[in-house]
Structure 1
Amino acid sequence: MFYAVIFFSILVLLFLLWDVKKPPKFPPGPKWYPIVGCALQISELRLKCGMFCKVVDELAKYYINPYGLYGLKIGRDKVVIAYYSDTINEMMTNEDLDGKPDGIFYRMRTFNSKKGILVTDEDLWVDQRRFILRHLKDFGFSRAGMVNIIQHEASFLLEELREIVNEQGGKQAEVSMHDLFKVNVLNTLWSMMASKRYDRKSEEITDLLTMFFELFQNVDMVGALFSHFPFIRFIAPNYSGYNAFVESHQRIYTFLRREVENHRQTYGNYDMPRDLMDSYLREFDNPKRGEFFSEEQLLAVCLDMFLAGSETTNKSLGFAFLHMVRNPEIQEKAFAEIKEMIGVDRLPEWGDRVKLPYCESIVLEAVRMFMGNTFGIPHRALRDTRLSGFTIPKDTMVIACFRGMLMNSHDFPNPSKFDPERYLMDGKLKIPEAYNPFGFGRHRCMGDILGSNA
């Protein structure tokens, strides 16, 4: 018995020593402790800084290097933060880093398997991304086609604003900008996915917005506490966020299943698919369909489309108007440009965009200010590889920090200032090379078309 205890103690000691040992040439970062890695340091900074992007910013002050990245270990997960633009660009073009996280957090959100489009990789990602983009273009998901959908929603929004003004006396009104665009952005997406739009006052849209609010509150693509410490979901399911995560997804999937079933009952009545759901259902009937098509995949794709497109667009629009309220001179210049170039008697059209460089610069700056506090979808090393001269072991999570890319003073002088003029030179748009809020290449976010046009 004595020797068994000694042997077991030696094994535990060896494990603890192995658990804190960093791989050779791993990026610099905080000290690792057994079991938790550097989670305790991150938790302390989270209490001090609040937003996780500011935690990453704070760590960068101590551990960033000329190569623009540093390494963490949270629980059992090795994480590398790509901070500078050049490092993020190298990360995006390194095929060894084309994987997506494969832990319990990412599988549980899509029926305990890798499904959808946001956190899938390899053949599944290539096949489904190609199918989705090809068919969505038929329903408006192109730069020109999107304009028609957005114009339609803009007309409803203007009418709703007139009603609000009339209800408050007919001359001026107080309007909450925080949630103003949510319904219209959701309708823009939902029209392509399910040929449906909701009235702002309907009970159904109220319930749906509540579900999505809960979902966005409980979903962080960087991961939750139980994703880095899976065992904790059994010990503290509420504290770890596990229960809220499961319940919010269950409610969304119940709604989506109901809509898929409605389409299943009616899509055969039409010669051509009405929307993305119809396209998937028709593919189910194809005897030569690919191996990745299933109802669960369709549900996961719908969820991912909402996550990719709705929140970013809604928040960026809200940010734009918030900054124009705080800077009325910007609002006045934008209105003057609109009056001069297209007038006030019609909605803008696609061809008007080149005539409105100042208005577009406001959009660019609003997107920068919002996306500068976010992260890209995490990537995973498919095999041992190199990034900016450092070794990235297989299965390491690599995350692009947009704060380092979009809020640095080198590429964007005085980055905390809302300054549309930074994109203009001699009255024409000049976008900095570092401006890549939606990524680039084959990893460019599918929500780019909605986000940049809305």
Structure 2
Amino acid sequence: MLRFLWESISLQMLLIFLIVFLLVADHMKHRKPKHFPPSPFSLPFVGHIHLLNFSNPQITVQKLTEKYGDIFSMQMGSTSFVFVNGLRMVKEVLVNQGENFIDRPEIPLDRDVFSKMGLISSSGNLWKQQRRFTLTTLRNFGLGKRTLEERIQEECRCLVDVFGDEQGKPFNPHFKINNAVSNIICSITFGNRFDYHDEEFQRLLQLMDETVSLHGTIMSQLYNSFPSIIKFLPGSHQTIFKNWRLLKSFVKEKISKHKEDWNPSESRDFIDSYLQEIAKDNGDGIFQEENLVACTLDLLFAGTETTSTTIRWALLYMALYPEIQARVQAEIDTVIGQARQPALEDRGNMPYTNAVIHEVQRKANIIPFNVPRLTVKDTVLDGFHIPKGTVLLTNLTSVLFDKNEFETPDTFNPGHFLKDGQFWKRESFVPFSIGKRACLGEVLARSELFLFFTALLQKFTFQVPPDTTLSLQFKLGITIAPQPYKICAMPR
């Protein structure tokens, strides 16, 4: 009887049965619970991939926000996630109910590199211990103190010198800025800075930059949605893995050199301090060398890429808005002059310059969707049910470009941060995120942005090269960066 039934079933019938079975299985797997945030129509297996603008995902999210409101859901491959928009909802997730959304999800590209270690990708007690230790160590090595300010000022002098070497001719400032900014975090983590002509370090910066950019490619985005399939294919994701192996080797080599002349009673830098923690680890495995590698790379990436990218946006905006640049320089000349370097204590007397820096951060919007969160327990959010294990994205773009918060959100306007001629600190300014997992390097980044920006505009006027048109088009990667450009730094 079974053989008769088998022989009587055609291949066509078998394929139809298989397709129906897979469709039902996919539907059951991704069936949403009651009162889950609304979602557009999704395709079987691939979800909402047909709606996504891979070159500018912000456009997709904005359209869905207009249709579904401040909270909606999407599915990419096997991953479902919820988008949250607007200051009220972002605060609810990151501050008011922050403990319910405190963990990080497993993003395939990051998981395959770090296995949920380090400062950015870790969760739970591991993250708390690493963050607490890192904040303490950064403070010990000068965060918020005059010693670190002097270190940044010294690097400002070096950057001004290499800009001056260009003699007003067009040049790409990208890696000069990268090197200067990276040297600050390197002096804390490795105990030394790197010369701008150090070939090994230049190669490291190029690897970091390439890795940041490749995260924005279609293959890398597809890998995060369909890792079990894409991992067998060639593409940018394979280059990312290769680069990470080289970057890890660089850090491991630095750690090995530290071990050779390590004095347990004296701590020269972050690596030394971490080695001390490893030596006294009580067996819970929180402090181990694999975590040291991950934390060091997190500091190196976060401490270089975000600030460097923001400064590159700042110089681009100054060249495109010469009248704003002239007002900044007039304020610098009045408060600081040309005889001495800018200092952090000048910031309070320079409201317009401070407003311009904040407007650069707002308009550049370099991390538009923040770093993803994971729901740690069943939670009610604005009347919707968010089950434990749901990936959640807080759309910072919706806050930084909110027309109800900013008078001209799509225009570069330093007046957004000025009131009666004084600097106006706004609650809706959230580029560093908010809550317990806000950027731990915010104090350092704000110091670097002010000192580098004012030091450069004190000595140079930035201009568009002759017969050149500069663009505000961006390059999508881990961050939103300006397209490569050349600029003229004219000595003042």
Q: Taking structure 1 as the reference length, what is the TM-score of the superposition?
A: 0.89
CA distance in 2, matches of 1:109, 1:224: 15
What are the residue-to-residue correspondences of 1:221-260 with 2, within 5 Å?
224-236=221-233, 238-239=234-235, 241-260=236-255
Write out per-residue CA displacement over residues 410-449 of structure 1, whole angstroms, 9 at most, x where no aligned residue.
1112212111122111221112221111122322111312
Cα distance in 1, alignment partners of residues 61 and 174 from structure 2: 26
Q: 1:344 is matched with which residue?
A: 338
Question: Which residue, 85, 88, 104 being the options, matches 2:108?
Answer: 104
The answer on 1:421 being equivalent to 2:415 is yes
Query: Which of 343, 347, 351 is the aligned partner of 1:357?
Result: 351
The alpha-carbon distance between structure 1 residues 108 and 416, as it changes in their structure 2 partners (threshold 3 A), is: same
| Aligned ranges 1:164-175 → 2 under 5 Å | 164-165=166-167, 172-175=168-171
Q: Is 2:31 aligned against 1:31?
A: no
Tell me, yes or no, if the aligned pair for 1:283 and 1:289 is still in contact at 8 Å.
Answer: no
Change in 2 beyond 3 A, CA 1:55/1:40:
same
Q: Partner residue of 2:132?
A: 130
In 2 relative to 1, CA 294–359 (structure 1 residues): closer, same or farther, beyond 3 Å? same
Q: Secondary structure at the match of 1:82?
A: strand
Q: Secondary structure at the match of 1:442?
A: coil
Tell me if the contact between 1:136 and 1:275 (Cα under 8 Å) persists in the aligned partners: no
Which residue of 202, 206, 218 corresponds with 1:210? 206
In the TM superposition, residue 52 of structure 1 has moved relative to its aligned partner by 2.3
Greater mean alpha carbon deviation, residues 172-181 or residues 213-222 = 213-222
1:143-182 pair list within 5 angstroms:
144-165=146-167, 172-182=168-178
The farther-off stretch of 188-197 and 384-393 is 384-393
Q: Which residue of 1 aligns with 2:256?
A: 261
Take 1:394 and 1:17, find their aligned partners in 2: how far apart are those partners? 20
Change in Cα spacing, 1:26 to 1:284, as seen in structure 2 (3 Å) is: same
Residue matched to 1:277:
271
Displacement, 1:100? 0.6
CA contact (8 A) 1:143 1:449 kept: no
Q: TM-score, normalised by structure 2?
A: 0.83
Q: Distance in 1 between matches of 2:405 and 2:212?
A: 30
**Inter-CA distance 388–221: structure 2 relative to 1 (3 Å threshold):** farther
Q: Aligned to 1:409, what secondary structure does the other structure show?
A: coil
Q: Does 1:400 align with 2:394?
A: yes
**Structure 2 contact 51–60 (Cα < 8 Å) conserved:** no
Per-residue CA deviations over 1:352-398 (Å, capped at 9, x if unaligned) read 11111111111111111122662211001112212222111221110
Aligned-partner Cα distance in 1 for 2:101–2:221 = 22
Shift of 1:220: 6.0
> Aligned letter for 2:377?
R
User: Amino acid of the residue matched to residue 59 of structure 1?
Assistant: L
- Verify the 8 A CA contact 2:37 2:73 in the aligned structure 1: yes
Helix, strand or coil for the counterpart of 1:40?
coil
2:57 to 26, 47, 52: 52
Distance 2:266 2:78 in 1: 49
Can you list the C-alpha shifts for 1:21-58, whole angstroms capped at 9, x where unaligned?
A: 3322121222122211112222xx33xxx222333223
Question: Does the CA-based 8 Å contact 1:308-1:446 persist in structure 2?
Answer: no
Q: How does 1:79-118 map to 2 (within 5 A)?
A: 79-93=81-95, 94=97, 95-110=99-114, 113-118=115-120
Q: 1:412 aligns with which of 374, 393, 406?
A: 406
Letter in structure 1 aligned against 2:242:
E
When structure 1 is superposed on structure 2, of 6-15 and 411-420 the one drifting more is: 6-15
* Distance verdict in 2 for CA 1:12–1:328, change over 3 Å: closer
Counterparts of 1:342 and 1:440 in 2: how far apart (Å)? Answer: 32
Change (3 A) 1:287 1:12: closer
> Within 2, Cα distance between the matches of 1:433 and 1:255?
40
Task: State the superposition RMSD in angstroms.
Answer: 2.4
CA distance in 2, matches of 1:193, 1:91: 32
Q: After superposition, give the CA deviation of every residue in 1:211-269 in whole Å (9 maximum; x if it has no partner).
A: 10122123369973222212113442x24x4312211211110111111111111222x
1:329-357, Cα deviation, whole Å (9 max, x unpaired): 11111111111112111111221111111
Structure 1 residues 284 and 10: alpha-carbon distance in aligned structure 2, compared to 1, 3 A threshold: same
2:285 corresponds to 1:291: yes
C-alpha distance in 1 between matches for 2:179 and 2:402: 33
| Alpha-carbon distance between aligned partners in 2 of 1:337 and 1:251, rounded to the nearest angstrom | 45
Q: What stretches of structure 2 of length at least 5 have no aligned partner?
A: 449-492
Contact 1:384/1:393, CA 8 A, preserved across alignment: yes
Taking the aligned partners of 1:221 and 1:118, their CA distance within structure 2 comes to 21
The residue that corresponds to 2:456 in the other structure is: none
Amino acid in the other structure paired with 1:40: H
1:40 aligns with 2:27: no
Q: Does the 8 Å contact 1:19/1:34 carry over to 2?
A: no
Residues 351 and 422, structure 2, Cα contact 8 Å, conserved in 1: yes
Contact 1:144–1:350 (CA under 8 A) maintained in structure 2: no
Distance 2:214 2:147 in 1: 33
Aligned partners of 1:357 and 1:344: how far apart in 2?
Answer: 19
1:398-418 CA deviation, whole Å, 9 max, x = no partner? 011221110122111221211
Shift of 1:303: 1.3
Q: Percent identity?
A: 28
Does residue 22 of structure 1 match 2:32?
yes
Shift of 1:122: 1.1
